[in-house]
Chains A and B, each alone.
Chain A
Amino acid sequence: MSFQETRKISKIVSELTSYLLKRGFFHVRFLIEKRKDETMIEITLPSVKIADVREMIEKIDQQSSPEIETYGWEVVGEAAEKDQLTVLGMLIDSVDVEETSENLVLTCRRKHKD
């Protein structure tokens, strides 16, 4: 995995953190697991229901676009702006959502591109 990939993973974590904190989700647990071909980012939100973050999930659920990612991933940010979440979504390959009575767990995966 290249250093560029590491920076992209850091960008995803940083922007999602910023988005969630700005919207009042003050208890957030991140688990980052770097594997051979992909990196998994697990976000645990205690006492949160899907409906509370549905908009965020729908925004980050984007088909990847290598050319847009190559061109502009450096300025992805200001996640407070909803349209910027869409761009962030291009860095994420899949999102799984798991809801329990106690937590909401979002599992984002990014396949290593180089």
Chain B
Amino acid sequence: MVEKRCEKWYTVSRIDHQENNMHLKYQAFEQKLLIPILLFAMAALAFFIDEPMTIWGGLGRIYTVPGLLVTDFLSPEIGGLGATLMNVAIILAFNFILIKILKIKFSGPVVAGLFTIAGFAFFGKTLLNTAPIYLGIYLYSLYSKTPFKNFIIVALFATGIGPIVSFVMFGINLAFYISIPLGIVAGIFTGFFIQIIATNAMKFHMGYNLYNVGFTLGLLAMLYTGFFKIIGVNLNTGVVINNNHHSILFVIVLFISVFSIASAFLNDPRVLQKYPGLLKMSGRLVSDFIRETSQPVVLLNIGLLGLLCLGIGYVFAIPVNGPIFGGMMTVMGFGAFGKHLKNSIAVMTGTVVASFLFKLDMQNSIGVGLGVFFVTALAPVAGRFGFFAGVLAGFVHMIVLPMAIVFQGGFDLYNNGFAAGFVAAVLVPVLEVITSKGVEKNVVSRN
């Protein structure tokens, strides 16, 4: 007679325990913590800093600049601090409400997407230039008969190509009755195809570039750049940077970091003991850290990454302007979706080594400064292949980075994501071969 034992506990646990557990994990981010607080803090701070009329005027200018890389909205001739913070609050509120309406859980990629949107609303994203992209993605969801909510991750990150909309609307000398509809069409067109291309682009770098949509947008931006150049449109809108708000931006990042860490410990006093578990993960796409660990562990990670960014900024005297602030926010957001202290420090070290070796100016060159933070797109390389592989990736990234902006013309705000895609595509197959990870170890039969 065959002894038979059915493990019914397992199916039961799936329905009852896991569903509730996951719901609670995500709910904390949504209701109690970071996102709503960030949203209201930005709006309140805007009114504390500037008069409503000044904010209104600044918003008008923010909405009508072409916004190509690098346009710092903090600059007084564009928006100023109050209007920029209001821009952040508006775009964050729109996305927050959208997520609530669609009943999407606050998973790691969604948290990363919201932080990224908040950061890039300092230098390129507005509600006006992102709305047509959402519309394009929505139309694709109708075309593919797939719920729009399934495309939310791509939608959140696809807003990085907002400048294509602004540039067509306000950067070409066309009458507004032509340029504005044309800009909307450009956004819809881009949004419609982005999901298809993003899914396939991921295979190019095998998930080792966390800014996959940034890479995808870079490919599209390259086509737009070629088109505009061939018809003789000047894409050189110059670099606008404003370093006058260094201290307040530094304090905002410090506040968010400390708040995250405090929330982590309040939610789970033993969070520090659990944190090393997160550090063991490679972070390769698509790692939802909230799902794989817990909300307090992720909050701690976000806070520590924020402190790491501030520490690096302080040590190397990198001024915190709009774009650098955006970089820091993005690093923190991806603390829920692939980045942690261990894999980030490695790639950041690579950029610092390259900067010293090639005498790159971290303080005054915005491209170099941004590279130091956004190189963390390649953090999974360090997570999988170790510290020195991460340093190598960071080093190579700084070599490739200046080429990327030339190709994509500044339409893709995630220039580092575009560069990182190429770096990962070249390095990862090589690392696979030369490290022991690519070689089958002596495995003994277990059955």
B51 located at the interface, meaning its Cβ lies under 8 Å from any Cβ of chain A in the complex: no
Using A62-B291, A67-B109, A68-B107 as known contacts, say yes or no to A98 and B447 having CB atoms under 8 A apart.
Answer: no
A30 located at the interface, meaning its Cβ lies under 8 Å from any Cβ of chain B in the complex: no
Pick the contact of B206: A24, A45, A75 (CB < 8 A).
A75
Which residues in A have their C-beta under 8 angstroms from that of B291?
62, 65, 86
Bound CA span A99–B292, Å: 27
Bound CA span A33–B443, Å: 30
Number of residues in B with C-beta < 8 Å to the partner? Answer: 53
Find out whether the CB atom of B202 lies under 8 angstroms from the CB atom of A98: no
Find out whether the CB atom of A63 lies under 8 angstroms from the CB atom of B18: yes
Find out whether the CB atom of A47 lies under 8 angstroms from the CB atom of B447: yes
Bound CA span A94–B203, Å: 27
B146 located at the interface, meaning its Cβ lies under 8 Å from any Cβ of chain A in the complex: yes
Specify the chain A residue showing the minimal Cβ separation from B18. Answer: A63
B285 located at the interface, meaning its Cβ lies under 8 Å from any Cβ of chain A in the complex: yes
User: What is the number of contacts between chain A and chain B, taking CB atoms within 8 Å?
Assistant: 129
Bound CA span A26–B443, Å: 10
Which residues in A have their C-beta under 8 angstroms from that of B447?
24-27, 45-48
Find out whether the CB atom of A67 lies under 8 angstroms from the CB atom of B384: no
B153 located at the interface, meaning its Cβ lies under 8 Å from any Cβ of chain A in the complex: yes
Find out whether the CB atom of B445 lies under 8 angstroms from the CB atom of A26: yes
B379 located at the interface, meaning its Cβ lies under 8 Å from any Cβ of chain A in the complex: no
Bound CA span A35–B5, Å: 26
Find out whether the CB atom of A65 lies under 8 angstroms from the CB atom of B5: no
Bound CA span A61–B200, Å: 27
Pick the contact of A24: B6, B22, B151, B446 (CB < 8 A).
B446
Find out whether the CB atom of B443 lies under 8 angstroms from the CB atom of A97: no
Which residues in A have their C-beta under 8 angstroms from that of B19?
63
Find out whether the CB atom of A22 lies under 8 angstroms from the CB atom of B14: no
A50 located at the interface, meaning its Cβ lies under 8 Å from any Cβ of chain B in the complex: yes
User: Residues on B close to A: CB < 8 A?
Assistant: 2-7, 10-11, 13-14, 18-19, 22, 104-105, 107, 109-110, 145-147, 149-154, 195, 198-200, 202-203, 206-207, 212, 281-282, 284-288, 291-292, 384, 437, 440, 443-447
Q: Shortest 7 CB-CB distances between A and B: which pairs?
A: A72-B286, A75-B207, A97-B7, A24-B446, A71-B153, A70-B150, A47-B447
